[in-house]
Amino acid sequence: MTLRMSYGRRLQRSALWGKSLCRKAGTSLITATSSAACWRRPPGLRASSTASTNFALLDLARESAALLNVLAEEKSQDVLVEGEEGITVCADRLILRQALVNLIDNAVRYSPVSGTIRVRIAKSAAGEAIVEVRDSCSGIELEHQARVFDRFYRIGRDRSRDSGGAGLGLSIAKWAVEANAGRIDVESQPDKGCTFRIRFPLAAIGSL
């Protein structure tokens, strides 16, 4: 009887592990395939004006965060999206979504279990549309911050190969932002997390 119960538990644990693995793989496939589609476009290429549309940034942030919910749930994390409803931009929605997906995926990947990721949409006094993705990771030292957007660049500590990924997520995010006339930077201090901030100039802001 004891042997049967032990075997049953092993089967149950294996089933749960397999389910978790499939859910993670499914999320990774979403980010990987969409990233690959964007990366095939030549570097420095601007988003086509015919592909650019006016849309609400908060809606895009919610949609992007929803794609990473499964991965966040596996680590008991909260992904919070907040901001102003009326902020709109004129951009290639698919490409810009890839930037947000990569930034949120990066935040989920490197934030600890039960951590919090915040995505905030705002408008600056200078008339820029702003998207912030703030994580709760161990932070990035100043000497590494200038290179985090380089292809294949890795930082060590918790940002190691053990966390998976190919080292392209942030570089693709930067390309996607710049292809839509925006710019991206990172603000971080050790043990205080990272804030990745996207800005769009007033000329890039449209209306619904």
Place of tokens 């965060």: 65
Q: Which of 68, 74, 66, 75 is nearest to 136 (CA)?
A: 75
Provide the 10 A C-beta neighbour count for residue 183.
13
19 has a pLDDT exceeding 50:
no
Average pLDDT of the chain to the nearest whole number: 78
Pair 58, 81: CB distance under 8 Å? yes
Pair 175, 38: CB distance under 8 Å? yes
pLDDT digits (tens, 9 = 90+) for 23-45: 444 444 445 444 454 545 545 55
DSSP one-letter code for 56: E
pTM, rounded to two decimals:
0.74
d(CA 11, CA 5): 10
d(CA 36, CA 40): 6
Per-residue pLDDT at 165: 58
Pairing of strands 52-56, 129-134: unpaired
Pair 122, 195: CB distance under 8 Å? no
DSSP one-letter code for 169: H
94-109 mean pLDDT: 96
Per-residue pLDDT at 69: 95
Q: What are the φ/ψ torsions at residue 131 (nearest 5 degrees)?
A: -120, 125
DSSP one-letter code for 194: E
Per-residue pLDDT at 3: 37
Question: Which domains does the chain possess?
Answer: 2-204 (3.30.565.10)
Per-residue pLDDT at 164: 57
pLDDT digits (tens, 9 = 90+) for 118-164: 999 999 988 899 999 999 998 888 878 888 888 877 776 445 544 55
Model confidence at 4, in pLDDT bands (50, 70, 90)? Answer: very low
Per-residue pLDDT at 184: 96
Per-residue pLDDT at 50: 53
183 has a pLDDT exceeding 60:
yes
Residue 126 falls in which region: left (phi positive, over 0), alpha (psi -120 to 50) or beta: alpha
**The dihedral of CA 45, 51, 53, 59: what is its sign?**
negative
Q: What percent of the chain has pLDDT over 90?
A: 50
Higher pLDDT, 31 or 114: 114
